[in-house]
């Protein structure tokens, strides 16, 4: 390999810089979600800088992003002496808690019951208004006017035919329909994660807690941004070559290897 040991850290960061237009506030959301998702957790300004500046984020961009997150009621802050401390607000904690199980799950949960909705056959234009409640991640579009949802149907399922039960078979065309918008994203992520895994193998030495935090943040960030963009379906809905399975395994393996640093130690180390 052409990488010299001294380059391993920037090389990992470069491998994980998949999107050219990374939004800083979104990276900070990933950082808090991974490192400070409990009510007492706080991150000092200097610690935050040391974690995210290696990614290439300028201090000014961090200030703007923190301002926005405070305005949105997502984080709160307090100054102690010359140092600012940041933490998730109750609303930020709630949203983080809602997303975390899916992000950190090692397997996809099965679903006990399903319901399938069939709208009245009608023209695409007529259907537009009626199908609105079903055009979300909570429903999987099978065919025009045909939607699969988890659990019991909503009360306001319009004037639709509804059957509750269990899917018997997911045909290939549906697996492809579900997978195709995301396969490329996950494929790129799998390549990046594999590269990071190899760089860590080659490095073999001690990784500092801040380095660990930087890499964890980037890994969780990339994983979360694709994962939460599509519905959460049990394995039977995906094709055999579903890159999402591969990515999940790689993410979990890397998070196991890159230990989550102790926040209090990090904050005090300054």
> Which residues form the interface with its own copies (CB under 8 A)?
114-116, 118-121, 142-146, 148, 153, 157, 159-174
Location of structure tokens 């405070």: 70
119: DSSP letter:
P
CB of 187 to its own copies, least distance (A): 25
Question: Listing from the earlier edge strand, what are the strands of the sheet with 139-143?
Answer: 114-118, 146-150, 139-143
157 or 183: CB nearest its own copies? 157
160 or 189: CB nearest its own copies? 160
46 or 167: CB nearest its own copies? 167
Q: What is the 3-state secondary structure (H, E, C) of 197-250?
A: HHHHHHHCCCCCHHHHHHHHHHHHHHHHHHHCCCCCCCHHHCCCCCHHHHHHHH
CB of 256 to its own copies, least distance (A): 37
CB of 107 to its own copies, least distance (A): 23
Distance in angstroms (rounded) separating the CA atoms of residues 58 and 56: 6
Reduced to 3 states (helix: H, G, I; strand: E, B; else coil), residue 45 is helix
122 or 229: CB nearest its own copies? 122
CB of 174 to its own copies, least distance (A): 5
Cα separation values, 140 from 149, 154, 232, 236, Å: 7, 15, 10, 14
105 or 163: CB nearest its own copies? 163
Closest residue by Cα to residue 61 from 32, 31, 22: 22
CB of 117 to its own copies, least distance (A): 10
């Amino acid at each position: 390999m052409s990488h010299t040991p001294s380059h391993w850290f920037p090389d990992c960061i470069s491998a994980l810089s998949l999107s050219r237009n990374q939004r800083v506030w979104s990276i900070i959301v990933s950082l808090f979600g991974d490192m400070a998702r409990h009510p007492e957790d706080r991150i000092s300004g200097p610690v935050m800088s040391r974690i995210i500046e290696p990614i290439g984020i300028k201090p000014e961009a961090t200030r703007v992003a923190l301002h926005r997150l405070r305005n949105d009621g997502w984080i709160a802050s307090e100054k102690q002496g010359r140092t600012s401390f940041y933490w998730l607000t109750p609303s930020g904690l709630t949203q983080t808690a809602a997303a975390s199980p899916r992000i950190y799950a090692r397997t996809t949960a099965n679903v006990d019951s399903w319901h399938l909705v069939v709208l009245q056959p009608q023209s695409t234009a007529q259907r537009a208004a009626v199908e609105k409640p079903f055009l979300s991640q909570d429903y999987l579009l099978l065919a025009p006017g045909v939607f699969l949802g988890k659990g019991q149907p909503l009360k306001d399922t319009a004037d639709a035919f509804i059957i509750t039960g269990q899917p018997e078979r997911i045909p290939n065309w549906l697996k492809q329909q579900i997978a195709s918008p995301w396969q490329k994203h996950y494929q790129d992520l799998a390549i990046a994660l594999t590269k990071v895994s190899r760089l860590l193998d080659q490095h073999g030495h001690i990784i500092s807690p801040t380095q660990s935090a930087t890499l964890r943040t980037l890994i969780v960030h990339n994983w979360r941004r694709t994962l939460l963009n599509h519905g959460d379906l049990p394995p039977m809905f995906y094709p055999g070559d579903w890159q999402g399975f591969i990515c999940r395994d790689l993410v979990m393996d890397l998070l196991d290897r890159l230990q989550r640093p102790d926040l209090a130690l990090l904050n005090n180390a300054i």
